[in-house]
Amino acid sequence: MDNSTKNEINSVAKELGMTASEMSGLINVCNNPEGRHHVPRNAWTAVTFKALTALQNHGYIVPEFMVEQAKLNAEATIIEDVEVLIQKSLNVANRDKKPVSSRIWSRFFFDSDLVNESRDLQEYLASSQLPSNYEYDEELRSRVYGCDDYTALKLSNEFVKEMKTATLGPYPHMALEDIIPYKEAFCARLGLSRKDVSKKIINIQAKKGGVGKSSVTTGVAGAFAMTASRPYRVLVIDADGQGSTTHLLSLRGEDGCKLYSDRPSIFDVLMASKAIDARKSETTALYNQLLADSIVDTPIPNVSMIQANDFPFDQKIKIGRSNSATEIKADELRHVIEDAMEKGDFDIAIIDSRPDLHTATKLSFAAADKAINVMRPCGEDRDAYRGYLKEIAADVVPEICGDGNWTLPEMSVLFNQVTKTQNQHRVNMGQLAACFDRRGFIKTTNTMIFESRVITSASTMDCSIWSMPRESISGINAQVIGSFRAQFTSLALELEDEWLKNNK
């Protein structure tokens, strides 16, 4: 290639947003299609009709498969453009940033409505002879809040009155972040501190896709931050390359674009972490900078996130005994999360792991203090979980157990998308819970998450259940939203109770 052609190709590459090496890789494939296996992945994502036309104009013969790649990349670009337009329209619709009605303010302190709903659920389930894994614990809240229900409720009502006094207008609303100072003052008067619970890492897992893992991740993250007994600082790690949790928790600008799309992902941080060379301080500095840059804000106060991206981490990296070019140590994600929790003063980290057992999923399992498997009360999910446990035993434990002195994280099953009136759901949950109880290794959580149009509406609005706009936009009544969120509050309180017992 003469210099003039080379300069022209480089100019076209620059115009297309490609690097010279990417364009060079495409040229090499035109010259030798068999050499396509040596082309870096980012060159393939740069295959566009404009790039192919430029190559043809310079006399290169473009293989047919590259035309097919250009079709796929063009469709992806169209969807990306549509996404920006949709997010821009949603951003305009959601411009009112004070969505929390005074009708549900009390649910952020001591949720007496949840107490009543729990008792009603107990009574409803007990009205049938069918087995049930649910049992309302009258003493749980007094253990977690450190006082009786009456004292907590009285103080909660006082705070709601103070909030209404501070808010003007006949129909007062508050932003989520406006509630936090009141929540902190409420906890101070009860003598509650978020430091009462030692730092914890939770892995939200499932072998099967479509069970609601990402919605559970965002739901319980918001509960720990906003409606649990204490306002914990929460870090969400999206270890699933599909990025559903990243999508739900991303902040967006007025143009509809994600604010932090250029920030490092968890996969970028892991690659930097495993590349640290103790003899070279610059590798440690690079890791520390990437880690700091990767922690981004979300629409939920007290909740931050390390995002996922489409980097093919699982295809490139396997679990190994050393951190080499193609291997990573089993405890590397644990180290990264502990560093991030220290850097951001986080109390709880929640991992949304992939629905498989590839590298990122194994790292997530190895990192966890608590593993919560999300399951719908149906046979296909039970069968998937049975296989999942056998695969963990056969394929995961041998790889992550290190020197052999390793124990399982605490493991629980959370039933999601439960239909309250479906008798077979109750039979399935009750029988499975009874079997688990006999063994004792795995427990079903007392909390279950019911089907609700709240989650459907939130997904349609491209947000979590904690950042839904007002009823006039979302179409969902404030009390309905509060009641659905309270199920995640119940799960957070259940976990708090478990951890506080262990701390004593």
Indicate the residue among 77, 92, 107 that finishes a domain: 92
Tens-place pLDDT, residues 222-260: 999 999 999 999 999 999 999 999 999 998 887 777 889
Residue 119 has pLDDT above 60, yes or no: yes
Least confident of 50-64, 198-212, 340-354, 430-444: 430-444
Residues 239, 147, single domain; the answer is: yes
Residue 210 has pLDDT above 80, yes or no: yes
201 by Cβ neighbours in 10 Å (0-12 / 13-18 / 19+) ranks as buried
Give the residue with greater pLDDT, 159 vs 17.
159
Residues 310, 430, single domain; the answer is: yes
Phi then psi for residue 295, to 5 deg, are -85, 110
Residue 168 has pLDDT above 80, yes or no: no
Tens-place pLDDT, residues 383-427: 888 889 999 999 899 999 887 788 899 999 999 998 877 777 777
Residues 163, 175, single domain; the answer is: yes
CA trace torsion 347, 329, 326, 391 (10° rounding): -90
Residue 440 has pLDDT above 90, yes or no: no
Sheet strands (E) in 16-165: 100-101
How far apart, in whole angstroms, are the C-alpha atoms of residue 54 and residue 159?
A: 66
Residues 71, 141, single domain; the answer is: no
Tens-place pLDDT, residues 62-108: 888 989 999 998 888 888 777 777 777 666 555 567 889 999 999 99
Indicate the residue among 92, 110, 136 that finishes a domain: 92
The number of helices, as runs of H, and strands, as runs of E, in the chain is 22, 12
Average pLDDT, the chain: 88
pLDDT, position 199: 96
Residue 23 has pLDDT above 60, yes or no: yes
Residues 112, 22, single domain; the answer is: no
pLDDT, position 18: 79
Indicate the residue among 69, 92, 115 that finishes a domain: 92
Residues 88, 113, single domain; the answer is: no
Give the residue with greater pLDDT, 171 vs 327.
327
Residues 191, 264, single domain; the answer is: yes
Residues 335, 199, single domain; the answer is: yes
Phi then psi for residue 48, to 5 deg, are -130, 165
pLDDT, position 95: 55
Residue 132 has pLDDT above 90, yes or no: no
- Spatial CB neighbours of 434, under 8 Å, sequence gap ≥ 6: 131, 133
Residues 335, 482, single domain; the answer is: yes
Give the total number of structural domains in the chain.
2
pLDDT, position 331: 94
pLDDT band at 377 (very low <50, low <70, confident <90, very high): confident
pLDDT band at 430 (very low <50, low <70, confident <90, very high): confident
pLDDT, position 236: 98
Give the residue with greater pLDDT, 18 vs 334.
334
pLDDT, position 91: 65
Phi then psi for residue 215, to 5 deg, are -70, -35
Residue 294 has pLDDT above 70, yes or no: yes
Residue 2 has pLDDT above 70, yes or no: no
Residues 300, 381, single domain; the answer is: yes
Helix segments in 227-368, DSSP class H: 244-249, 266-274, 281-294, 313-316, 332-344, 359-367
Q: Domain holding 154: CATH number?
A: 3.40.50.300
How far apart, in whole angstroms, are the C-alpha atoms of residue 477 and residue 489?
A: 18
| Pairing assessment for the beta strands 348-352 and 200-205 based on DSSP bridges | parallel
How far apart, in whole angstroms, are the C-alpha atoms of residue 294 and residue 388?
A: 31
How far apart, in whole angstroms, are the C-alpha atoms of residue 103 and residue 118?
A: 19
Residues 46, 129, single domain; the answer is: no
Taking alpha carbons only, the member of 367, 354, 240 closest to residue 308 is 240
Q: Are the beta carbons of 500 and 493 closer than 8 angstroms? A: no
17 by Cβ neighbours in 10 Å (0-12 / 13-18 / 19+) ranks as exposed
- Spatial CB neighbours of 453, under 8 Å, sequence gap ≥ 6: 476, 480
pLDDT above 90: percentage of residues in the chain: 51
pLDDT, position 47: 87
pLDDT, position 221: 98
Residue 17 has pLDDT above 90, yes or no: no
Residue 435 has pLDDT above 90, yes or no: no
Residues 372, 398, single domain; the answer is: yes
Give the residue with greater pLDDT, 10 vs 343.
343
pLDDT band at 489 (very low <50, low <70, confident <90, very high): very high
Q: Name residue 319's beta-bridge partners.
A: 328
**Phi-psi map region of 320: left, alpha, beta (phi>0 left; psi -120 to 50 alpha):** beta
Domain that holds residue 115: 94-503
Q: Name residue 327's beta-bridge partners.
A: 318
Other C-beta atoms lying within 10 Å of the C-beta of residue 139: 9
- Spatial CB neighbours of 281, under 8 Å, sequence gap ≥ 6: none
pLDDT, position 4: 67
Residue 304 has pLDDT above 90, yes or no: yes
